[in-house]
Amino acid sequence: MRGKGPGNKAVPGVLPLAPGYFRKPRSLWSDAWRRLLRNPVAMTGGVIAILLVAVALGARYVAPYDPVAQDLANSLASPSPTHLAGTDVHGRDIFSRIIYGTAISLRIGFLGMLLGCLIGVTLGLASGYYGGWLDMVIMRLLDVQLAFPGLLLAICIIAVIGPGLENVIVAVGIFSVPMFARVTRGQVLSLKQQDYVLAARMMGAQDGRIMIRHLLPNALAPILVIATLRIATAILTAASLSFLGLGAQPPTPEWGAMLSDGRQYLTIAPHVATTPGLAILVTVLSFNLLGDGLRDALDPRLRV
Amino acid sequence: MQPIKFLGILLLVSSLVALGGTACGPTAPAEKVITIGQYADAVSLDPQDTNDNASYSIEKPMLEGLIGFNEKMEQIPQLAERWEASPDAKVYTFYLRKGVKFHDGTPFNAAAVKANFDRIRNPDNKLKRYTLYKIISQIDVIDEYTVRFTLAGPFGAMIATFAHPAGGINSPTAVEKYGKEYGKNPVGTGPYKFVEWVPNDHITLVKNPDYWDKANGPKVDKIIVKPVPEAGTRIAMLQKGDAQFINTVPYAQAETVKGDKNLNLVATESIYTFWVSMNVQKKPFDNLKVRQALNYAIDKEAIIKAVLRGYGKPANSPVAPLVWGHAPAKTYPYDPAKAKALLAEAGYPNGFKTTLRGAESTEAKEVMVAIQGQLKQVGVEAEVISLPSATLSAERFKPLAENTGEIDYSGWSPSTGDADWAIRPLLTKENWPPTNYTIGFYTHPKVEELVKTALQTSDAAKRKAAYAEVQQIIMDDCPWIVLWVNYVLGGSRANVGGIAIQPDGIGFYRSVYYK
């Protein structure tokens, strides 16, 4: 086979090049992907996350019972073949409620993260790119927000806009803004000094084009890491809010609310509280593991 | 040599102390102390300025009324030996017990009684229980031990009102001495005397050795009441023996207490009735068929079994069985088919949407979710709205035009133990919000008339007959989905007796003893 490739024509006096020399250079993303594949912990997180999404999407096919159908005669039944995770005080099937709850938690996690990401990244881009007074104002405002403990801030937001699942998404979103904004700004500050950005500007590119076409794609890696980790935080915050009665309203099968409902039966029916607790644990853990793995994989200083 | 000398002295002193300790030990008998873990701290210890059961629970061992209640909510003579009511229910004469002294030595007599009721009926004193006794227009001291009350109008439920815990008699000397601070320094005639109140930590009472009723005097030396809001903590205290009684035990934990051989679950049938009031001035609840349908749609037995863990029984009247004047009227059996048929007849074959309002306690939420689930079975989609108590109360007390309430889960305990207070504030027009608790804006000409009739006389038989008729009308006309009467649960150590929670939810601590 050797010597038959187009670039390997034997020229007298010149050594043939190693095979694959002309292979297309690997991008940061494909490099990262390979590194991620080689990280078993991150992959476990990833696989569980994908499974959870699948369960959430197919909840109605997976769940054996209607999550709000009551059977009071069967209150607080222990786990059994008919009710895999037992029933709660209203005789509702906990396993089915957990499955439907997956959809609710993931939706809050994704949408909350997305909202925070959109606002945060926009602020971060503007702040880092323009600098000056705009940077000053945006960053100081975000500093003020960061000064509040996270959950307390979310509770304050709920107190203003009222309880309910949709409002939890807003609260969780707002609560994630500073994180995204700071990371984006940091990236932009270093990127805007790069030659290709200066070149684009010299060629007369508009500010918007430079930010969207040149700065954002190159700042994406750390944002992606934050986004994955933020999903986990968003799910946990939403569950905490529902636990406190500020999120999901009955009879919505939200994990935090289920945990709160089951709390007082801990001594006589521990499965009522432990099952949603485990569901929160597994979900948050999977997104955190995936996020950590992504961070390692996307770090250009870590070579394979 | 100095250190050795010092050590020697130290040894000598400590052995003396140790000897002294052992020498004294057997001669002084151990003090009998009862510690009670209560769900809340007192707000005030002045019965005339109290409207919460946590405060009354602590006041009752210290302060006695002219009339008291026994554990079955029956009236018993306390500081009055007997009493008379005029047939027109306007003049009440009390013959007082002789030889009773307040804890501060002030003699108990007609003048003391007059001073007490003059204080509470004076609006300038701004006492929380002013409204209960404002109907008294004149108080006459007939002699040292006879006092006569004249009312502004006939009020047949007055004897029960005297038995209300707000009628606890305070030492007039102490009221004078402490003024505004009297609520922190109560002085009465009861078997226990006040010692100290450290807010949010404890209240201590000691036995009154001079108590007038030797047969029912104090049986322990000291009662310490600690506020413990978290139910799990209360139960842990009881299990460890840090408390000898706890008030209350939530239904969910009743099994835990019951299953422990060192503990007793003390369950008392209450005078609380629980119900869902419907705003009868609004569609569709102005329609009797709809109201009947909702009554048939709720499976009370099933909710009692699951959510109340069995500690309740379906109510057959708006008035609980232990309330004076209760007459069983009727119950609506669980019949979803009939409910659907009635809804169809009323013009709602596919049901309707509504909101179910109530408190945000776990228990209230669980009940509301169960009701929501059962209403759904007959096509009624109820959104559960649970509100913090201040907001809930503000919403409920809005006048009709501004009130957004549709159906509302609530409960009531008539603390006078009389049917009047179980019906009039809840189901008559002059008690519509913002005045009082007729939160469904109900009115019925016959009910209004009978309630008035029953107050015009002190004749027990006439009053009972009127209330029986009212109860029948209410159950037929169903302004409420009448749910159940619950049990109030306390927990005690197995070696402790004579302590419980009264049917009205007030702790009954005065007879506590070690077995």
Half-sphere exposure of B358 (CA within 13 A, CB side): 28
**In Å, what is the CA distance from B127 to each residue of B51, B57, B131, B152, B504?**
10, 19, 9, 20, 21
Interacting residues of B102 by C-beta distance below 8 A, sequence separation 6+: B108, B112, B171, B173, B174, B187, B188, B189
Torsion angles phi and psi, residue B182, rounded to 5: -60, -35
CB contact under 8 A, B250 and A245: no
* Cβ burial, residue A152 (10 Å; 0-12/13-18/19+): exposed
B132/B118 Cα distance (integer angstroms): 13
CA A59 to chain centroid: 20
Q: What is residue B19's predicted lDDT score, i.e. its pLDDT?
A: 46
Catalogue the long-range contacts made by B29-34 (C-beta closer than 8 Å, 24 or more residues apart). Answer: B31/B221, B31/B222, B32/B219, B32/B220, B32/B221, B32/B222, B32/B514, B33/B220, B33/B221, B33/B222, B33/B223, B33/B224, B34/B220, B34/B222, B34/B223, B34/B224, B34/B244, B34/B245, B34/B496, B34/B499, B34/B509, B34/B512, B34/B514
CA B470 to chain centroid: 23
CB contact under 8 A, B303 and A75: no
CB contact under 8 A, A267 and B306: no
Cβ-based contacts of B385 with chain A (< 8 Å): 249
Distance from B384 to chain A by nearest Cα, in Å? 7
Place of tokens 């776990």: B362
CB contact under 8 A, A267 and B362: no
Domains and CATH numbers, chain B: 34-213+494-514 (3.90.76.10), 273-488 (3.10.105.10)
Distance from A130 to chain B by nearest Cα, in Å? 47
Distance from B376 to chain A by nearest Cα, in Å? 10
Cβ-based contacts of B252 with chain A (< 8 Å): 89, 264-265, 268
CA B57 to chain centroid: 9
B147/B226 Cα distance (integer angstroms): 38
For the domain made up of A44-302, give the CATH fold: MetI-like fold (1.10.3720)
* SS3 (DSSP) at B71: coil
CB contact under 8 A, B384 and A249: yes
The full DSSP string for B98-157 is SS-B-TTSPBPSHHHHHHHHHHHT-GGG--TTHHHHTTEEEEEEEETTEEEEEESS--TT
Helix orientation angle between A216-243 and A94-130, rounded to the nearest 10 degrees? 140
- ipTM for the predicted complex comes to 0.77
Beta strands B222-227 and B136-143 are unpaired
B462/B459 Cα distance (integer angstroms): 5
* SS3 (DSSP) at B67: strand
* Cβ burial, residue B6 (10 Å; 0-12/13-18/19+): exposed
B134/B507 Cα distance (integer angstroms): 27
Strands (E) located in B56-112: 67-69, 75-77, 80-85, 91-96
Q: Among A73, A75, A250, whose Cβ lies nearest the Cβ of B365? A: A250
Q: What is the DSSP letter of A215?
A: I
B445-498, pLDDT tens digit by residue? 999 999 999 999 989 999 999 999 999 999 999 999 999 999 999 999 999 999
Q: List, for chain B, all residue ranges whose pLDDT scores fall below the cut of 70.
A: 1-28
Q: What is the mean pLDDT of each run of 10 residues along chain A (304 residues)?
A: 47 64 71 87 94 94 93 92 93 95 94 96 94 94 89 88 88 92 93 90 89 88 91 92 86 92 89 95 95 85 55
Q: Among A89, A250, A264, whose Cβ lies nearest the Cβ of B306? A: A89
Which among A75, A158, A246, A254 is the top mutation candidate for probing chain B, defined by the most B β-carbons within 10 Å of its own β-carbon? A75
Dihedral sign, CA of B329, B332, B333, B337?
positive
Contact at 8 Å (CB) between B83 and B167?
no
* SS3 (DSSP) at B30: coil
Map out the domains of chain A as residue ranges: 44-302
Q: What is residue B435's predicted lDDT score, i.e. its pLDDT?
A: 84
Q: Where are the alpha helices (DSSP H) in B121-259?
A: 130-133, 158-163, 172-178, 231-240, 251-258
Strand partners, B418: B324
A299/A295 Cα distance (integer angstroms): 6
Q: What is the DSSP letter of B168?
A: P
CB contact under 8 A, B306 and A90: yes
Interacting residues of A141 by C-beta distance below 8 A, sequence separation 6+: none
Contact at 8 Å (CB) between A123 and A181?
yes
Give the strand order in the sheet containing B136-143.
Answer: B80-85, B91-96, B146-151, B136-143
Closest CA to A268 of A76, A35, A14, A113: A76
Report chain A residues touching chain B, CB-CB < 8 A.
Answer: 68-70, 72-73, 75-76, 89-91, 245, 249-251, 260-261, 264-268
**In Å, what is the CA distance from B296 to each residue of A78, A238, B300?**
31, 38, 10
CB contact under 8 A, A68 and B303: no
B314/A contact by beta carbon, under 8 A: no
Q: What is residue B321's predicted lDDT score, i.e. its pLDDT?
A: 95
Q: What is the DSSP letter of B54?
A: H
Contact at 8 Å (CB) between B290 and B343?
yes
Interacting residues of A301 by C-beta distance below 8 A, sequence separation 6+: none
Place of tokens 């201040």: B390
Q: Among A69, A245, A264, whose Cβ lies nearest the Cβ of B252? A: A264
CB contact under 8 A, B252 and A72: no
B362/A contact by beta carbon, under 8 A: yes
Q: Scanning every residue of chain B, which has its alpha carbon at the shortest distance from the alpha carbon of A243? A: B362
Q: Among B232, B307, B372, whose Cβ lies nearest the Cβ of A89? A: B307
CB contact under 8 A, B360 and A245: yes
CB contact under 8 A, A265 and B252: yes
Q: Which residues between 198 and 257 in chain B have a beta carbon less than 8 angstroms from any beta carbon of chain A?
A: 231-232, 250, 252-253, 255-256
B373/A contact by beta carbon, under 8 A: yes
